[in-house]
C-alpha cells in the first residue's frame, strides 16, 4: 500500500506537562482542567494560520476523561478554541495510551479521503484528579477489565510491565537488563532538562544512575520496577494541523515548514490475552514494519525516533521494535549509548513519557509534534542532526499492554 496523496503535519504546539516535579504543581491547590488545556494548545495552533475558518474538521484524542474528569463528549469542546470551529465536524477517538496516535491517524484519513484539507488534531488528558491507586484502577481500562482486573495487582499496568521486566531478567540476565532500564531513565531525565515544557525539566538530581537504580519495593509497589521506571501522571494537551498540499497553500505554510508523513502502520492485538512473549513488543513491531513498508525505508534511514516508554523496560523493548537492533540486543544498545542524542538512533529527545510526561490521550500528538520539530529544525536545545543519509523520523504511539499501536514515518516537507 502507498499513500494516494501527500499528507503533512505542521504548526504544532503543546502545553507544559503538569504534575509532580513541576514547581507550579501543588496537589492541594486548584489546577487547570480540560477546557484550559484544550484552549491553550488549540489556540496556539490556530494563531499560526491566517483564518481559523480554514480548518475543515477537528479530532480530539482522549482516553479516560469520563472517569478522571466526569466529562464526555469532548468533541463538542473543540469550538471553545475559536468561534470559527462551531458547526465543524468534530470527532473524539480513543485507544488507551495510544489515543493521540489514533487522533493523528484519523486526521490523516480525512485528508486522504478528500474530506478535508486542514484538520486540527488535539490530544488531551487531565489525570491529577485522583490518588495514584485510584488512577491505576481507571487506567486498568486499557487492559481487559472483566477478566484481568479482579485478579490483577492494585497497580495494574506497572505490574504488567514488571512482569515483562522479570521475564527479561530470566531470559537475558538481570544485571544486563537492569542496567539498560536504569540508563533509559537517566537518558529521559537528561533529555527533559533540555525541554522547558517537560515535567522533569527542573530535576537537578546529581546522581541519576543511582536514583534510577533504586531497588524495587514489592511490598509498596511491584516486584521488578521502582517508581523511577514509570512514566509520569500528567495533565496537558498537544495540538497540530494535518494538511493536504492544498491545505498548506491555503494556510500559508511553506512546505519546508511542514513534515510529510510518508508511511504509517497500525496494528491491534487481542486485549483479552496476555503477550505470548513478554520480552518483545510484537504489536509495535508489526505496526512499525507496516510504516517502513509504506515509506520504502528502514531503521537505517532514521535520524531519530519518538517511542512509547510508559516504563523503562518498554523503552528498551521499543529500541528492538524499531528494528535498529535484534531481540535481546536492545539492552546493550541502550546501555552503550545507542539511544542518546549522539547515539546510533536518538530516542525521545524531549524526555519521552518518563521525562517529558504522559498525558495519555495527548502523548501520540506530542510525539508527532516533536518529530515535526526535529525535521524542521525547531527542536531548540534537543535538536539532533537530520541528514540526507538519514532523513526520516519515526513515531510509535502505543495503547495498553502493546495492544493498540500506530506508527508513522516522517520526512521534512
Which phi and psi (to 5°) does residue 58 adopt?
Answer: -125, 145
Number of independent structural domains in the chain: 1
Q: Closest Cα partner for 97 from 413, 369, 353, 333?
A: 353
Asked if residue 273 has pLDDT above 90, the reply is: yes
Kindly report, residue by residue over 106-120, the tens digit of the pLDDT: 999 999 999 999 999
Asked if residue 369 has pLDDT above 90, the reply is: yes
Does residue 12 fall inside a structural domain?
A: yes
For the ranges 2-6, 206-210, 356-360, the lowest mean pLDDT is seen at 2-6
pTM of the model: 0.98
Which phi and psi (to 5°) does residue 93 adopt?
Answer: -125, 150
The predicted model gives 303-330 an average pLDDT of 98
Task: Residue 29: give the domain boundaries.
Answer: 8-131+233-256
Asked if residue 133 has pLDDT above 90, the reply is: no
Does residue 96 fall inside a structural domain?
A: yes
Percent of the chain topping pLDDT 90: 96
Query: Which residues sit opposite 404 in a β-bridge?
Result: 268, 399
Report, in angstroms and rounded to the nearest whole number, the Rg of the chain calculated over CA atoms: 20
pLDDT score at 333: 98
Please report the DSSP string for 118-185 in residue order: EEEEEEEEE-TTS-HHHHHHHHGGGS-IIIIITTS-SSHHHHHHHHHHHHHHHHH-HHHHHHHHHHHH
Gap between the Cα atoms of 93 and 326, Å rounded? 33
Does residue 121 fall inside a structural domain?
A: yes
Domain harbouring 71, CATH code = 3.40.47.10
H-run or E-run covering 304: strand 302-306
pLDDT band at residue 132 under the 50/70/90 scheme: confident
Asked if residue 1 has pLDDT above 80, the reply is: no
pLDDT band at residue 413 under the 50/70/90 scheme: confident
The predicted model gives 262-269 an average pLDDT of 98
Kindly report, residue by residue over 162-191, the tens digit of the pLDDT: 999 999 999 999 999 999 999 999 999 999
pLDDT score at 398: 98
The length of the chain, given as a count of residues: 413
3-state secondary structure labels for all residues of 223-257:
CCCCHHHECCCCEEEEEEEEECHHHHHHHCCCHHH
Asked if residue 368 has pLDDT above 80, the reply is: yes
Phi and psi based region of residue 315 (left: phi greater than 0; alpha: psi -120 to 50; beta: remaining): alpha
Three-state SS for 11? strand
Gap between the Cα atoms of 408 and 10, Å rounded? 15
> In degrees to the nearest 10, what's the CA dihedral of 248, 406, 324, 228?
110
∠ Cα 384 385 391 (to 5°): 115
* DSSP strand pairing (57-61 vs 118-126): parallel
Asked if residue 125 has pLDDT above 90, the reply is: yes
Kindly report, residue by residue over 13-67, the tens digit of the pLDDT: 999 999 999 999 999 999 999 999 999 999 999 999 999 999 999 999 999 999 9
Gap between the Cα atoms of 189 and 206, Å rounded? 11
Does residue 15 fall inside a structural domain?
A: yes
Does residue 123 fall inside a structural domain?
A: yes
Contact between 90 and 59 (Cβ < 8 Å): yes
The DSSP 8-state label assigned to residue 377 in this structure reads T
Q: Which residues contact 69 (CB under 8 A, 6 or more apart)?
A: 33, 34, 126, 129
Kindly report, residue by residue over 85-104, the tens digit of the pLDDT: 999 999 999 999 999 999 99
Contact between 243 and 118 (Cβ < 8 Å): yes
Cell 492544498, residue?
A: 246
pLDDT band at residue 205 under the 50/70/90 scheme: very high
Mark 281-299 as b/e (b = at least 16 C-beta within 10 Å).
Answer: bebbbbbbbbbbebbebbb
Gap between the Cα atoms of 108 and 200, Å rounded? 32
Contact between 81 and 49 (Cβ < 8 Å): no
Does residue 408 fall inside a structural domain?
A: no
pLDDT band at residue 151 under the 50/70/90 scheme: confident
What mean pLDDT, rounded, does the chain reach?
A: 97
Kindly report, residue by residue over 207-222, the tens digit of the pLDDT: 999 999 999 999 999 9
pLDDT score at 39: 98
Amino acid at each position: 500500500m502507498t499513500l494516494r496523496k501527500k499528507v503533512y503535519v505542521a504548526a504544532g504546539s503543546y502545553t507544559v506537562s503538569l504534575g509532580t516535579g513541576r514547581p507550579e504543581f501543588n496537589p492541594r491547590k486548584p489546577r487547570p482542567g480540560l477546557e484550559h488545556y484544550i484552549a491553550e494548545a488549540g489556540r496556539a495552533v490556530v494563531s499560526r494560520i491566517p483564518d481559523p475558518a480554514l480548518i475543515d474538521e477537528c479530532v480530539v484524542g482522549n482516553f479516560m476523561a469520563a472517569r478522571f474528569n466526569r466529562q464526555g463528549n469532548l468533541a463538542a469542546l473543540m469550538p471553545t478554541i475559536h468561534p470559527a470551529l462551531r458547526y465543524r465536524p468534530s470527532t473524539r477517538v480513543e485507544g488507551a495510551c495510544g489515543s493521540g496516535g489514533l487522533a493523528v491517524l484519523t486526521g490523516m484519513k480525512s485528508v486522504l479521503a478528500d474530506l478535508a484539507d486542514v484538520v486540527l488534531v488535539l490530544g488531551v488528558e487531565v489525570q491529577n484528579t485522583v490518588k495514584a491507586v485510584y488512577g491505576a484502577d481507571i487506567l486498568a481500562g486499557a487492559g481487559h477489565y472483566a477478566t484481568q482486573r479482579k485478579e490483577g495487582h492494585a497497580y495494574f499496568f506497572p505490574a504488567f510491565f514488571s512482569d515483562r521486566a522479570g521475564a527479561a531478567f530470566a531470559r537475558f540476565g538481570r544485571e544486563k537488563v537492569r542496567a539498560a532500564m536504569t540508563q533509559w531513565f537517566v537518558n529521559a531525565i537528561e533529555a527533559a532538562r533540555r525541554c522547558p515544557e517537560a515535567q522533569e525539566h527542573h530535576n537537578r538530581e546529581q546522581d541519576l544512575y543511582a536514583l534510577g537504580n533504586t531497588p524495587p519495593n514489592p511490598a509498596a509497589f511491584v516486584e521488578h520496577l521502582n517508581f523511577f521506571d514509570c512514566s509520569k501522571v500528567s495533565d496537558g494537551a498537544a495540538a497540530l494541523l494535518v494538511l493536504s498540499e492544498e491545505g498548506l497553500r491555503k494556510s500559508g505554510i511553506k512546505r519546508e515548514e511542514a513534515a510529510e508523513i510518508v508511511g504509517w502502520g497500525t496494528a491491534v492485538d487481542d486485549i483479552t490475552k496476555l503477550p505470548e512473549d513478554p520480552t518483545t513488543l510484537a504489536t509495535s513491531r508489526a505496526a512499525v514494519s507496516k510504516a517502513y513498508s509504506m515509506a520504502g525505508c528502514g531503521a537505517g534511514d532514521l535520524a531519530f525516533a519518538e517511542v512509547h516508554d510508559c516504563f523503562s523496560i518498554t523503552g528498551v523493548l521499543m529500541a528492538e521494535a524499531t528494528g535498529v537492533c535484534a531481540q535481546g540486543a536492545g539492552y546493550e544498545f541502550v546501555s552503550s549509548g545507542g539511544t542518546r542524542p549522539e547515539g546510533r538512533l536518538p530516542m525521545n529527545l524531549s524526555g519521552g513519557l518518563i521525562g517529558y510526561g504522559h498525558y495519555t490521550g495527548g502523548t501520540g500528538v506530542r510525539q508527532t509534534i516533536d518529530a515535526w520539530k526535529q525535521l524542521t529544525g525547531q527542536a531548540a536545545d534537543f535538536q539532533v542532526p537530520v541528514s540526507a543519509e538519514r532523513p526520516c523520523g519515526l513515531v510509535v504511539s502505543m495503547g495498553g499492554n502493546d495492544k493498540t499501536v500506530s506508527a508513522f514515518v516522517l520526512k521534512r516537507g
